[in-house]
Amino acid sequence: MQSIAVWTLLGASILWGMTWLPLKYLHQLGFDGILITLWVYLLMFALAMPFVWRYRAYITPHWKPLLGVMLLGGGAQLAFNTSMIYGDVIRAMVLFYLIPLWGVLGGRIFLGELITPIRALGMVLSVFGAFLVVGGFDAFESPPTWIDALAIASGFLFAMNNITFRASTETPVMLKVPFMFLGAVLFSTLVVIAMQEPLMPSVSVDAWWILFAYAAIWMMLANLATQWAVTKMESGKSSIILILELVTAVVSASLILGETMSFWEMVGGGFILLAAMLETVPQNTGKERTKMNNLGAL
């Protein structure tokens, strides 16, 4: 079972690292970036409705963590997809991988986890790495773009979403995941309405089939495979394997799009990758405080 879980998570990580390819392709077919997220996650939520129905008795008593997952996870998905579609894939993915930094801070604030020396070193490496990726001291002359901000925000929201998942162990995972899909739909719809764009894009039937296949096969498989696999192995091992997502994105974007990074950007990316790997080192983070001391007893 352990080996199956490892291979499953390896495959899921590759799917996550390659998500930029269908996203950009769908955008070329005529889907606006926000509409891609709206329709992909609407289809995924519809496909996940059997899980919602199965665990419907948990919705009312667990509405707080479900609301948290919907807001944090939904916002993270929209920000991540938008940064992948409109931005430089490698740069956006590297900035997204500041997740360990946000996870350590959030774990300390909300779960009472200790910041060990190794984690403190990872935080320093993350911050310095991000500083180099966005241009170092040149960033003060030309500030980071809104794409950079979205990539960083997506990592922050994902980290907070993960903390909500960890702090609500009594809420079924297969109920939280559909609510995350629903959050992406709601946020995307609000943005499209605010931009006064049509909810139904004028694209070909073939484009709709491609979007449906991406949602029903690629994204559903990536989400369900990841959730299943991480419950079957140690967190340290799963965290190391998930780093393959970053590697896959960097290699594929380099080969397919010809994207490159400057020397100092690569150094910054290396620092962030090292910080992510440090987070996989087993360490005593202390017992959690009263679990939702600051999250309102989710």
**Interval 85-109: pLDDT, tens:** 998 888 888 888 777 778 778 777 7
Question: Is the CB of residue 73 less than 8 Å from the CB of residue 187?
Answer: no
Average pLDDT, whole number, for the chain?
Answer: 83
- Give domain status of residue 34, yes or no: yes
Q: Answer yes or no: is 85 within a domain.
A: yes
Q: Which residues contact 166 (CB under 8 A, 6 or more apart)?
A: 111
Neighbour count for residue 79 (Cβ, 10 Å)? 25
Nearest to 102 by CA among 166, 159, 151: 159
Per-residue pLDDT, averaged over 155-170, amounts to 86
Token output for 142: 């030309």
Q: CB–CB of 183/42 below 8 Å?
A: no
Higher-confidence residue of 219 and 262: namely: 219
Residue 170 maps to a domain: yes
Q: How many CB atoms lie within 10 A of CB 6?
A: 16
pLDDT tens digits for range 14-73: 999 999 999 999 999 999 889 999 999 999 999 999 999 999 999 999 999 999 999 999
Decide if 285 is inside a domain.
no
Cβ 231 vs Cβ 176: under 8 Å: no
Q: What is the mean pLDDT of residues 133-145?
A: 64
User: What pLDDT score was predicted for residue 240?
Assistant: 65
Express each pLDDT in 249-277 by its tens digit. Answer: 888 888 898 887 778 788 888 887 787 77
How long a stretch of residues is the chain? 298
Residue reference for tokens 């967190």: 235
**Phi-psi map region of 8: left, alpha, beta (phi>0 left; psi -120 to 50 alpha):** alpha
pLDDT score for 236: 54
The answer to whether residue 44 is domain-embedded is yes
Q: Is the dihedral of CA 75, 70, 179, 65 positive or negative?
A: positive
| pLDDT per residue as tens digits for the range 64-79 | 999 999 999 999 999 9
Q: Answer whether residue 286 is part of any domain.
A: no
Would you say residue 292 has pLDDT above 50? Answer: no
Average pLDDT over residues 155-178: 88
Predicted TM-score (pTM) of this structure:
0.83
Total domain count, the chain: 1
42 is a domain residue? yes
- Residue 84 is predicted with a pLDDT of 94
Is residue 203 in a domain?
A: yes
Structural domain boundaries enclosing 175:
2-278
